[in-house]
Structure 1
Amino acid sequence: MGTVKKKTNFSGISKNKVMTVILIFCISINCINFLSSFNSNQNSGHEIKISKITISQEITYLIDIGFGYNYAVVNAQNLLNRLTIQNILNAAHNNPKKSLLVIKDTDQDTMGFNWKSATYFLPEYDIYYLFDEENTDLENMAYAWHTHDGGYSVSASKKMKINVNCEVNKIIWVMDGESDFFSEVKNQLNLNEISLHKGMNIYYSNIGQKDMDAKIGKFIFQKSQE
């Protein structure tokens, strides 16, 4: 006698039940991931320059933005954001008229502090967010986003002029300490370091009341008392 194979009948399982099971599974995995203590970015300090990014780093970034956000990551970002803002205020002595904030080469995901944070928490400050080939795929061009008291403008030029208000005596820098931009700032202006958390730093330069004409990369910082 031949063996009769018994067929499994799935006709009683509806598509809605299958989708419900899949949805519950996805929600469960997401909750476990969010509540876990693993921070995939804990050893990363600054953004990778687009011109040097590898395929594996691109894949890691996509996984990060898709699945990498959990309580540990969000908590670390919030902590660093608070530390950055507080230290900017301390460096400026809470005097926005005397300070200029310049942001360049920051990793929004790992640092927690970015353009949006600056404009939201420090609206009364003059803030510039600078872009060139070091932190974008732009070539032979420099871009500057500028905001102050709710106003907003974008400029582009092969040589970008940054007008420093005559009252400003300090520039606060949020930048990558391993970038060419950082090296040029350090070589041309006095640079002081403020340690934040796990190797993160911000910097500031005391420029006094004297005139200024500093060429840093594609950016020219100019200040005149006239």
Structure 2
Amino acid sequence: MTCILVAHLGDEVIIAADKRVTQITENGARVPCGDNEEKLVRTETGVITGAGSLAMLDPVKSLARDRGFDSSDVVLKWILNTRKSFSEAHANSPRLAADLAETSWMFTYPTVVNDQPVTRFVYFHQYHSADSLCVLTEGRVMCFPGGFSMEQAQALQAKLQAVVTEALESLPANQVKQTAVSGMLTLMSETAEISETVSSTCDIAVVNGRQVDIALSITESNDVREFIPMSHVAAS
């Protein structure tokens, strides 16, 4: 499972994804099985990631990376088709409803609004809509949980929103990003303490249009947080 935190700062979108993978046993127990997963996937137009069932997440992420897309509707079609196929293949599973409810996708792409370049962040989450994408607007944040409750996610989101709102209202532009990143790392560490499905170590991407910079495997205790360009490499 996972925890993904997102903040739309205007020109830039910041996405933090923890690195833990969790297996779910037949009786529903969640067993951590590694903290090395790279959940942020580079596409030609930005990044795509997700929380929940890998059996649904990975096919969509691979299509976005390898084929690319010229419309968010293309990705929505992939998501809906994947959910349909998964539902048919696991029709008798007692976990089907939970897997569908807990699995969400999110991605970025550049667009133009009122003749101005914009970095768009959109997401699919059954809790918000079961047949359409939602848009995260400038100045807003989101928390996408996998393996912990919606109530916990909403509390986490409220804390991050307070950090980002205060930073946008009171800090110079060149300090807002660092404040948001620091806040995300603190919240990820706090979440890891209450949820065994989330790691305190995470990858953080800063997306501006088609430009993506990433800091890999960092924690709250890292004094140096180096962001490097993230290149798009499609599968051959």
| TM-score in terms of structure 1 length | 0.24
Higher Rg of the two aligned structures: 1
Structure 2 length as normaliser, TM-score? Answer: 0.23
**Structure 1 or 2: more strand by fraction:** 2
